């Protein structure tokens, strides 16, 4: 049962991260299309945001492994 719960938790975290990455990327492209001169600032902010969003599934995997070992 613990393995199933861990798998579901990791899967949902990955799904949430994928949706978050897609939203951030699409809004960045939209912002660059509206203001091309702000490309550098927008890309930097996008990469930081995607990095923070991608931390969620990594943390979920660690928590799942910890819960499975109990």
pLDDT at 69: 82
Between CA 11 and CA 38 the distance in angstroms is 35
What Cα–Cα distance (Å) separates residue 69 from each residue in 11, 18, 58, 64?
A: 19, 27, 17, 9
Between CA 10 and CA 64 the distance in angstroms is 7
Q: What is the domain class of 1-69 according to CATH?
A: mainly alpha
Q: Is 63 helix (H, G, I), strand (E, B) or coil?
A: helix
Q: What percent of the chain has pLDDT over 90?
A: 79
pLDDT average, residue stretch 21-35? 97
Q: Please, what sign has the CA dihedral across residues 29, 31, 37, 42?
A: negative
């Amino acid at each position: 049962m613990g393995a199933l719960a861990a798998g579901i938790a990791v899967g949902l975290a990955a799904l949430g991260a994928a949706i978050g990455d897609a939203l951030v990327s699409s809004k960045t492209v939209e912002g660059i299309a509206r203001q091309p001169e702000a490309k550098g600032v927008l890309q930097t902010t996008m990469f930081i945001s995607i990095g923070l969003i991608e931390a969620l599934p990594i943390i979920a995997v660690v928590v799942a492994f910890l819960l499975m070992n109990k």
